[in-house]
A and B are shown apart, each in its own frame.
Chain A
Amino acid sequence: MSRSSQHEPPSGAQLGVAAAADVTADVTLIDSMLALSPEERLRQNDRMIRTIEELRHGFAAARAHDAARQAGGERD
């Protein structure tokens, strides 16, 4: 790698490739899953579902709160 290239930020295309690789095949996640028993892996999926559902509820509550605040502001 040339000295100049060491100081150049990666291009958008390079970042895109790296991000896609991370999303599709993160080997650290695979290795951590492989270290678990099958039942532990299934329970991990259960925990992920609960986390995703909590986030969905959180986003929905925040949207409702924002909408109510906006409606209140419009009345003022």
Chain B
Amino acid sequence: MDSPPPGLTTLLARLAASGTDFVLVGALAAVAQGAPLTTFDVDVVHRRGADNVDRLLGFLASIDARYRGRPAGQVLRPTRDALLGTGHQLLTTDLGPLDVLGAIEGGRGYDDLVPESVVVEVEGKRVKVLRLRMLAELKRGATSAKDQLSLAVLEETIRRAGAG
């Protein structure tokens, strides 16, 4: 019998094992803290220092990262310059979809998010995860129906956990 694909947990753990500094954000950050959501990708905000970007680039190459949504046969890979900036790199990899974000709402970058994060252990690696309370705050400015549904789940999870 074929073994199942590695999954997003493994993608996250391998990114942590690469030594890259990042904060997990988005729906998977909420899942890690108990929100009953389902998500198909990993969203991270990375530290945009040159040393960290080089580590991240090496990791991305090792999992054959390329931009999603490109026409067939037109493979485009993330560049050092792109990762040094604040833009969003929406990638597909051998381990699953990975969104590498230079900054998120309000121009918040890695250094802004670290104080708002908690550390969880995944496959023996320490991963910084943006707090539920901050994830909910970011969702409050969003207007889509999907974000409104997620916000309700986040707020109830914060209440049930008694923290955030």
Contact = CB atoms under 8 A, between A and B. Distances in A.
Interface of A: 23-27, 29-34, 36, 38-39, 41-46, 48-50, 52
Given A24-B152, A49-B7, A42 B36 contact: no
Interface string B31-48: 111111111100000000
Contacts, number: 76
A30 B9 contact: no
Question: Size band of the B side of the interface?
Answer: 20 to 34
Given A30-B35, A38-B121, A39-B123, A46 B9 contact: yes
Contacts of B38: 45, 48-49, 52
A32 B39 CA distance: 18
Contacts of B153: 24-25, 30
A30 B32 CA distance: 12
